[in-house]
Amino acid sequence: MIAVYYVTLFLFPGIVFCGLSNYSFPDDFQFGVATASYQVEGGWNEGGRTESIWDYELHKNPNITDDRSNGDIACDSYHKWKEDIQLVQNLGVDFYRFSISWSRLLPSASKGSELSKDGVMYYNKIIDELIARKIVPYITIFHWDTPQSLEFNGGWLNETIIEDYIYYARTLFDLYGDRVKHWITFNEPHQTCEQGYSTGEKAPFKKMQGTADYLCYHHMAISHGRIYRIYETDYKPTQKGQIGITIDSVFGAPKTNSDSDKQAAADYMDFQYGWFAHPILSGNYPAKMIAKIADLSKQQGLAKSRLPEFTQEEIKMINGSFDFLGLNHYTTILSSYGGNYPVPSHRNDMGTVDFRDPSWKPSAADWLWEVPWGLRQLLVYVKDHYNNPPVLITENGWANRGKYLQDLDRIDYINSYLSEVLKAIHEDGCKVIGYTAWSLLDNFEWTYGYTMKFGLVYVDFDSQNRTRIPRDSYDVYKNIISNKRL
């Protein structure tokens, strides 16, 4: 241990690993790394692939991104997939989480449409290569990239997309379910529904606050529940796989120890995390959310609540529709009542305002501060509120800018957050089954374009070859995985 300590200081001078947990990760704890199709693949019009909402919007208006870029080439993983899998293997992870491009597999996207043979082959190659290298594939079915052909018809605001999604998901099970045993139905519905259809910060850049966001997730929740039950009946007996959903959450802590701020933090968690998790884990939206939106809707002169209602059959179907619960977490906020928000809007319905402690270390992203204890508290929150489900941390990572190969901030972030995961497991009894670093590669980071870097591996987007260079954090994470301890 002493030798390792001195080597670490030599390789990464200036790092002080103070206060990290001495616990080891359980023997069955799984480590992984993640990417997403639109962010890394490129090849936007190859093999029959059609436009997603991100292709369509960024081709129409390049000024959406900070650097006027798009995902047409991205990391060029469509052609460099084998090199990327080599990086995954060298890292020593147990699994690789990646997503399927709906419009690459089904160019027309809708129920009953024909497959792209090239698309089928592309993902077959990735899955087979991973398995050959003893890496477990975790597939995200939907990661923000709705086919534009469906968006022209209303996208997630039109209930017909439910049948389209079910057809797409069943196609994946039919094609790949003999080898893929871990599926994630949706990645971060909050981002698609609130930022995509309400605040207009992400594709499809619609602004219909306080209505479209709720309708969007209502359709996603039904889609998730239905495909879970279909898999449970038609596929699980033979394929023996598991299905989860990935919900992202900032942890909301009270700004002060006052009763008012404690209640504000509780409301924040109900409206931010519970909105998405409660139907799946408890059968319906949180009671506080249902009552408050109904009351505000009435005050606003509406005949019924802006929050759609599930039928009793839908509640029964959705309740318990998970084998594991995906959790994306990056940062924490402090909550208090207040704020000046549009009426109606989700933020106005919630009624809280966010604060951050000035002592927290900021990242290059304007929404991400290093607050390691928030992850532990969030895991405890999930345990206490939802009967301790098996949680897979499906994303966690740090943002910087530039080449920055000696990424000491990211190393500190990974160590400090994983330390809190260990405490949650060993001291709080949380069922955390695994951890996924975001991201394997620097990639197309949505409206930031290529200016924001989350990768364990640096990608030179100015080079035709999209040269990859592992950062120091890559080696640190590799060492953690190998030793099952920090």
Boundaries of every domain in the chain = 2-483
**DSSP summary character for residue 26:** P
pTM of the model: 0.96
d(CA 180, CA 190): 26
SS3 377: helix
- For residue range 154-189, list pLDDT tens digits in order: 999 999 999 999 999 999 999 999 999 999 999 999
- For residue range 135-151, list pLDDT tens digits in order: 999 999 999 999 999 99
Topology at the third CATH level for domain 2-483: TIM Barrel (3.20.20)
CB 221 within 8 Å of CB 317: no
From its phi and psi, is residue 403 left (phi > 0), alpha (psi between -120 and 50) or beta? alpha
- What pLDDT shows up at residue 166? 98
- For residue range 378-425, list pLDDT tens digits in order: 999 999 999 999 999 999 999 999 999 999 999 999 999 999 999 999
**Active-site amino acid positions:** 188, 395
- For residue range 207-234, list pLDDT tens digits in order: 999 999 999 999 999 999 999 999 999 9
How many C-alpha atoms does 404 have within 13 Å on its Cβ side?
Answer: 19
